[in-house]
A and B are shown apart, each in its own frame.
Chain A
Amino acid sequence: MSEKEKKKGGFFSAVKEFVYGVAAHDSARFAMKTRASMEHLFILITMGDMLGVPILPPYYSLRLLPYVVPQISTWKRRMLREKDLTDALA
């Protein structure tokens, strides 16, 4: 690909990203936030077993644990981060 073509592609991709940013980025972020809230709830339910406190029947919890483990570090960070009203704005 020539330098000119690269530049042309770069320009169009920048325009594409800008339009995405204007129109859809916010929607994508809110969709992710909703998903994250659901995952946190999920972790909260299964976390009991991990700590040795049976909340749900252990069989189901153990089946769910593999899905939860990769999310634990993110979950901890989000739970422990200080939040206030201004977080809700953006």
Chain B
Amino acid sequence: MNSVIVLILGFAVAFLGYRLYAKYVDTKIMKSDPKRVTPAKMYMDGVEFMPTSKNILFGYQFKSIAGAAPVIGPIIAIQWGWLPALIWILAGTFFIGWVQDYSSAMIAMRKDGASLGGLSHKLISPRARIILLAFLYFYLLLIAGAFGNVVVSTATGLKSAPMAWLFMTIGGILAGQMIYRWRKDIILTTVITVVIALFGIWLGSVLPSDRIIGDTLANSRWLWTILAFLFCYFAAVLPIWRFALPINYVASYIVFLGLFFGIIGIFILHPNITLPAYTGFTIKIGPIWPIMFVTIACGAISGWHSLVSSSGTARQLENELDARPVGAGVMFVEMMLAVFALVIAGTIYASSAEYGAAIVKGPGGVFAAGVSKFLGALGLPANTGRAYGSVMMIVLAITIMQLVIRFMRIATSELLGDISPVFKNAHVGTIIASLLGILLVVTGWWQYLWVLFGGANQLMASLALMLVTAYLMSEGKPVAYAFYPMIFMFVTTIAALLYTSYNLLNKVISGAVKGEALIGNALMGVVGIFLVIAALILAMEGIKAFNRYRALRIQTAPAKA
């Protein structure tokens, strides 16, 4: 099939989903009301609660949810064939993905801007909130591990990446200094720092890391893992304006330009998909159900989005009608990002064997080769294009990673601060989070780590859908549009986590793995089992809440009659 047809199919699904299904839910079930005062207006504090234009929020939501996952997921999932991957990306987003993003924002807005923790306390039970927060810590650890692995495999596999990454960091730090300390013009700052980042990409292509530090260091996973987490350490402990934010600022232009010109490149080249449509039900990492469903991750549905929608976006929506373009609309754009990644993986290799040889080294190489090909259609040299793709991959992963480590630092302080004051220290919390992340990256096989992350991520999504269902029941609204996706995602993700954890722990118990792999398998397996137990307890709490709401409706029904 031609790649342009795939893109057009994606646009058609996005159009129908947004204009018909999302509009139906928004007007008939949620009954969004432009006259209802939103928390952004009601509790305006000029900081967190702030009425903001839907166009700005569209950009904010997109930037917050579009990390590495919608790109990497389809690149890995094409191992089962491009057709099942494409069907799940389109159907998953159409029936489940946008439902979760939009509804999380809506219920947070209707419940005074409460975060997911607050919503689970209000809608389910106080215990649900505590379990959810513990669940979140390990979920975030898996994000740090999976994304850390992507950064490291890209830095070791593509030798032009480290230089580009270094210059991006320098450009970012300079941007922070120029904006916040020297008070320079924002346009001037942007031009200078983006040019520095672009120069780094070019320099990386002519001066790769192995020519500077030698083969041994350039290929050392330990070195790049430590550097990646050192980067996150600075992001977590330094004032946010000095390091994390300005680097993200410069990086956002690099990613945006790459995506924009990459999509133009696809239309110019309009290549055919060369990989097979379907390869088989079971491959090395597992069967198509449930493993492929969780591998696609954010391209179809992601729990991360519900966190952003509830804690961030819902407090800034100035009108209930804006929830659909921001919550649902951005999810459909993210779906297109996943389709773009699928096209990249499906068109750049002549055969499955060639793709297979590339994917074992990590998804970064596949993505960079694709970006290079499509930017090449606009005249960019292949080497520079590959450096551009590699830094895009690193940026997409590390911007989320640094946020996750920062959050884990706060979580350590909140959860363990009462046991000993030492855990309230910012450096201690960051070091604990970083060490756990390093352990996962160095010892875990990246494909298993990715599946576990995908499972935890979509399990988080099913828990968010549980909150949506509880809200709908409490309000006496039809629940089917959220309830069935919740059941499907819950069963799928629990099956995926159990399957992967069993495989990992089985290898540990049977003695099939030794050394680093033994530690990695044991750690990943235990984290997977913990997440399943936490999710089951939450599900039981959820069922109790559902029964409570049902009983309440039965009690109130005769009175209404």
Chain A residues with a Cβ under 8 A of chain B: 13-14, 17-27, 29-36, 74, 77-78, 81-90
Contacts and interface: CB of A to CB of B under 8 A. Distances in A.
A36 B47 contact: yes
B115 A20 contact: no
Contact of B56 (A21, A74, A78, A90): A21
A86 B116 contact: yes
Given A21-B55, A86-B136, A89-B311, A26 B407 contact: no
Given A17-B56, A85-B133, A27 B62 contact: no
Given A22-B252, A22-B256, A85-B133, A32 B47 contact: yes
Given A19-B256, A85-B133, 7 more contacts: A18-B56, A21-B58, A30-B245, A36-B45, A36-B46, A77-B45, A84-B129
Contact of A14 (B55, B116, B249): B55
Contacts of B245: 26-27, 30
Contacts of B46: 32, 36, 74
B241 interface: yes
B45 A84 contact: no
Given A25-B56, A29-B47, A90-B64, A82 B136 contact: no
A66 to B, nearest CB: 19
Ranked 9 nearest A-B pairs via Cβ: A21-B59, A90-B312, A17-B55, A84-B117, A22-B59, A21-B56, A86-B115, A90-B311, A18-B59
A20 B59 CA distance: 7
Nearest to B413: A85
Interface in B268-325: 307-308, 310-313
Contact of A33 (B47, B114, B414): B47
A31 B179 CA distance: 11
Interface string B220-262: 0000000000000000000111000110110011001000000
B307 A23 contact: no
Contact of A30 (B56, B241, B313): B241
B518 interface: no
Nearest to B307: A89
Contact of A17 (B48, B59, B308, B407): B59
Given A87-B115, A89-B311, A26 B55 contact: no
Given A33-B48, A86-B310, A22 B116 contact: no
Contacts of B311: 86-87, 89-90
Given A21-B63, A30-B245, A90 B58 contact: no
B55 A85 contact: no
A38 B48 CA distance: 15
Nearest to A73: B45
Interface string B36-50: 000000010111101
Contacts of B27: none
B351 interface: no
Contacts of A21: 55-63
